[in-house]
Chains A and B, each alone.
Chain A
Amino acid sequence: MNTRASSPTPLRNETLFQLLAVLGLVVLPHATHLPPWLTALVFSLGAWRWVAARQGLRLPVTWLRVPLTLLTLSAVFAHYGTLLGRDSGAALLIAMLGLKLLEVRETRDVYVVAFLGYFLIIIHFLFTQSMLMVAYMLVIVTLLTTVLIDLNRGRPTPLPVNLRLAGSLVGYALPLTLVLFVLFPRINGPLWGMPNDAYSGMTGLSDEMAPGRISQLSLSDAVAFRASFDDTLPLPQQRYWRGPVFTVTDGEGWRSGRRRDTAAIQSPSYRYFGKPLHYSVIVEPHNRAWLFALDLPASVPPASQITGDFQLLANQPLRERRRYDMTSYPDYRTGPLSDEERQRNLQLPAAGNPRARALAASWRRDTNSPLEIVQTALRMYREQHFVYTLSPPLIREEFVDGFLFDTRKGFCEHYAGSFAFLMRAAGIPARVVTGYQGGELNEIGNYLIVRQRDAHAWTEVWQDGVGWSRVDPTAAVAPERIERGIAPGLQGEGTAVRFEWTRDQLFNQVWRGLRHGWDALNTRWNQWVLGFDMQHQTQLLSRLSLAGFSWQTVATALMTLTGTVLALLVLRRLDAERRGGDPVTRLYQHFCKKLARRGLHRTVNEGPDDFAQRVSRARPDLARQIRSISALYIALRYGGHDPRLQLTRLRREVRAFRP
């Protein structure tokens, strides 16, 4: 028993320290995309606030804070060139958080800062949504909630007590969270325009092929897409994943001949032979329209189309993961070429690269057979000491000439570009195809992982009777590229490319196993958690035989379910506490409740004996029973009788008691 006077609850230092520590954890992962000076600034502001609280220093006054705020804002603006957008928005929020720390004085400020902390977690999800982030989120939410709990306690409380309460709050909230996650009606976004940099982190092929573009990708381990095959895997030399096709060249770079909006998409004519390959592809978002398929695609996924040069194009740029089923035929023959198409595929700049043109003309003079010309060209690449390298020397002008006759060092885009140039100069219709080549088999999930470093460029030439056929000049120079793929990690400057290790190394095998297990797990995560959208929801609900119900119905059902879950939790919690204490107390409380229903309440400080006497006077008809029950209770509670025997009696009597 104690008496306490009223007092306001000022912000305690322990609360502030906890808040600062948790905010450090909130900001830390953001350091990967923030400019280093901002990270340093925010951490030093937090450290300063810590010291200020410890030493009892005065907080800076307004005339100091305002210029500091303006200075920081202009620095963020100067760094990003804008204040709108994902990156600068995140930086702005973090800068504001750091500055806000300078004026954290009272309860209100802690709420503002803690809510900002919650908000920064979601901002971080715009950068990464890996599985580990969920664990991170749960930890941070629990810790921030601990701070709020500590804030609302009137006096210092041991951290574990607050942590346990926060943990139970998060734990109880999880089932409800999952219900909401699965059932909350999803709308297909976006609701408003996305900032331009929202997808800037996405890597992938570009819409033109300039020297150096693909070799940049070759350093990236990022996954481009995954493909799982229904029965047989394609052979390594068949794993050409067709992407953007380029027909227009300026002698150096290549680009797509037609703008998409003016493209007359024709249905290509072709014939297939042999067994088809059935597979499904889960492509990572790359902010472009193209979808990837093995040569030669024979089906068109929904919400997409196929162009005359066998490119699959989605109707919308891929801004989220997409899964589609495909059928391809490795053996095919395409139909005749229209005049317009022939002309487009023979296009060359009016002038330039005279040596290459002369070489092609000399081949043309020697033979009339396109096949022979192709083989002559490939023989040249193979026999004249061409080197396959990620960092080729810079060629300033006359790109094809410079490469073919001077440097002879290049990456696949050099080979594909120069080869197509030579073919066109020799009068053979040719074009450059970019995409991916290869893929790593994940034995655990039984699918091929194709990474950005598998990006590749090759050519197609057209011959009478055969149609378009693939020619890969890179294979002539570096056949290992096609068989094994480029090894991950750093590639030496100007040196020949190192290829993927062979599989007989034990360490390598174990490492691969781990990597593949993780990737298989991630794939499921991507498919079922991150990719959970309106389509998935409809699919899932229809599987639960809710099909045909409008989302309003589903939302109502959701509300009912949520309400039920909440009500159950309430009852559970209340019951758990009512049933508190030992069975003896519980039975006695039950007895008191029966009397209370007849208007005989036991007061807080009334002993069981006093109560029994008072109640017996009020109800002489029950006096005997009341005395017996009270005596039993007193004996069990305070006496040393055989508890088991007496307890049964007490239970029987309380049950039989009907006032």
Chain B
Amino acid sequence: MKSAIAAFGQPLWIRLGLNRFFPHAVPRGQQVTLDRRRIYALPTRYGILFAVMLFVMLLGSINYNNSLGFLLTFLLASMGLLSILYTYRNIARLTLSGGRAVPAFAGGVVRFVVQVHNDDRLPRSAIQLAVKNGEAVLNDFAAQDTVLVELRVPALKRGRLALGRITVSTVFPLGLVRAWSYADLEMHCLVYPQAGPYRPPPLTRRQDQGQHPGGNPGPDDFLGFRPYQAGDSIRHVHWKALARALPMLTKQFAASESPELWLEWSALPALDSEARLRQLCRWVLDAHRGGRAYGLRLPGLEIAPNQGEGHQQRCLEALALYQEARR
């Protein structure tokens, strides 16, 4: 009874099971298998041309009462019909699952890796994976094999980029019919703001110490070792010690001890918010390259000064997602 009421609340077309005819009914999940009910097929323009040719052949055969003409027409028609099956079979029961996604800066290209698995004994050929802004072609695909497909999507603006609906399609073997299916692997990737133009980094808070704000620490400023912590820059790992099977150590430089660099939203009053984010991004990159410790202050968010890959990533992530929800 309960389920009946729940069903009654649904739109009519879902209740009638018609939703599978709508392309919006895309299977979602980390892993999607293209099953029979969600594979669509329509003739390509060559398929239509082929059908027109068959019709002309049929008319000719009737007109000339040509038996072999009929035979050829029916043979080609049967092959055309069967090729629907072959085409359909070429993508049926493929399993797609989401893999890694490599973030990028706006204006760059985000690479999504999708894992495609062929579970049965049928080798596949020439399968196209397409998303809104990118596509990839899977050529030969052996039986019971798994292939990693890289989908490159242009990163147009900062924020969270969803891979979106993947269209898996094929026209193999004859190109007369296109079979396709959809899968949404719910893959996302960060797009950092595009780095702004070079600008001198902001002054540190503790100007009274008289240090030059942007002073780059040289190798001379080496201070000593401390135990490795997650997030320390790999460049500062004492590899020689590691090679001697000692615990992992991080080299400490004078700069690490130098006053922290604060990268602040409020330091750029002249710019609009996106330009500020681009500038902050630039500073984060420069500071990281310089091996300095830096902190990031955005309205309502503060990341304490630190250094290393993990720290940079956290800062960039904060910049990417700043007020994302509101946009």
The chain A residues found within 8 Å of chain B, CB to CB, are 1-7, 9, 107-108, 111-112, 115, 118-119, 121-122, 125-126, 129, 133-134, 137-138, 141, 145, 148-149, 151-155, 157, 165, 169-170, 172-174, 176-177, 180-181, 184, 186-192, 194, 198, 319-320, 529-533, 566, 569-570, 573-574, 577-578, 580-581, 601, 603-604
The chain B residues found within 8 Å of chain A, CB to CB, are 30-31, 46, 49-50, 53, 56-57, 59-79, 81-83, 85-86, 89, 92, 95, 97, 113, 115, 117, 120-122, 125-126, 134-140, 143, 146-152, 171-175
Is there an interface contact between B79 and A169, defined as CB atoms closer than 8 Å? yes
Contact residues in B for A181 (Cβ distance below 8 Å): 70-71, 74
Is there an interface contact between A141 and B63, defined as CB atoms closer than 8 Å? no
Is there an interface contact between A134 and B68, defined as CB atoms closer than 8 Å? yes
Contact residues in A for B139 (Cβ distance below 8 Å): 4, 153-155
* B101 CB to nearest A CB, Å: 14
With A155-B139, A578-B120 given, is the CB distance from A177 to B68 under 8 Å? no
- Can you list 13 contacts pairing A with B, beta carbon distance less than 8 Å? A6-B152, A9-B137, A118-B53, A134-B68, A152-B126, A154-B139, A165-B173, A174-B78, A189-B63, A531-B67, A574-B89, A574-B92, A604-B95
With A125-B68, A141-B72, A177-B75 given, is the CB distance from A566 to B173 under 8 Å? no
With A152-B173, A531-B67, A566-B81 given, is the CB distance from A121 to B147 under 8 Å? no
Question: Most chain-B CB neighbours within 10 Å: which of A187, A198, A577?
Answer: A577
Which of A6, A141, A152, A174 interacts with B175 by CB under 8 Å?
A: A152
With A154-B126, A177-B78 given, is the CB distance from A1 to B135 under 8 Å? no
The docked-state distance in angstroms from the alpha carbon of A320 to that of B85 is: 38
Is there an interface contact between A1 and B175, defined as CB atoms closer than 8 Å? no
The docked-state distance in angstroms from the alpha carbon of A1 to that of B61 is: 51
The docked-state distance in angstroms from the alpha carbon of A165 to that of B50 is: 19
The docked-state distance in angstroms from the alpha carbon of A244 to that of B135 is: 74
Which of A122, A141, A149 interacts with B69 by CB under 8 Å?
A: A122
Which of A169, A191, A194, A577 interacts with B122 by CB under 8 Å?
A: A577
Is there an interface contact between B64 and A194, defined as CB atoms closer than 8 Å? yes
In the A-B complex, the 10 residue pairs with the closest CB atoms: A580-B121, A173-B78, A154-B139, A180-B74, A176-B78, A6-B136, A125-B68, A173-B79, A577-B120, A177-B75
With A122-B69, A134-B68, A188-B65 given, is the CB distance from A604 to B136 under 8 Å? no
The docked-state distance in angstroms from the alpha carbon of A145 to that of B173 is: 9
Which of B74, B89, B113, B117 interacts with A177 by CB under 8 Å?
A: B74
Is there an interface contact between A176 and B73, defined as CB atoms closer than 8 Å? no
* A254 CB to nearest B CB, Å: 34
CB-nearest residue of chain B relative to A585?
Answer: B144
Is there an interface contact between B74 and A134, defined as CB atoms closer than 8 Å? no
Which of A4, A533, A570, A573 interacts with B150 by CB under 8 Å?
A: A4
Q: Number of A-B pairs whose CB atoms are under 8 Å?
A: 194
Contact residues in B for A187 (Cβ distance below 8 Å): 62
The docked-state distance in angstroms from the alpha carbon of A268 to that of B230 is: 118
- List 13 extra interface pairs beyond A111-B46, A145-B79, CB under 8 A: A1-B146, A1-B147, A2-B147, A3-B113, A9-B126, A129-B67, A137-B68, A154-B125, A154-B139, A170-B79, A184-B74, A319-B65, A574-B92
* B78 CB to nearest A CB, Å: 4
The docked-state distance in angstroms from the alpha carbon of A456 to that of B146 is: 78
Which of A169, A186, A530, A531 interacts with B86 by CB under 8 Å?
A: A169
With A154-B125, A173-B82 given, is the CB distance from A3 to B148 under 8 Å? yes
Which of B97, B115, B174 interacts with A145 by CB under 8 Å?
A: B174
* A68 CB to nearest B CB, Å: 25
The docked-state distance in angstroms from the alpha carbon of A570 to that of B81 is: 12
The docked-state distance in angstroms from the alpha carbon of A119 to that of B69 is: 10
With A181-B74, A194-B63 given, is the CB distance from A4 to B174 under 8 Å? no
CB-nearest residue of chain A relative to B85?
Answer: A570
The docked-state distance in angstroms from the alpha carbon of A198 to that of B63 is: 11
Is there an interface contact between B74 and A125, defined as CB atoms closer than 8 Å? no
The docked-state distance in angstroms from the alpha carbon of A580 to that of B143 is: 10
Contact residues in A for B78 (Cβ distance below 8 Å): 173-174, 176-177, 180
* A288 CB to nearest B CB, Å: 17
With A2-B148, A155-B140 given, is the CB distance from A320 to B171 under 8 Å? no
Contact residues in B for A320 (Cβ distance below 8 Å): 65
The docked-state distance in angstroms from the alpha carbon of A503 to that of B83 is: 55
The docked-state distance in angstroms from the alpha carbon of A253 to that of B320 is: 103
* A283 CB to nearest B CB, Å: 16
Contact residues in B for A4 (Cβ distance below 8 Å): 136-139, 147, 149-150
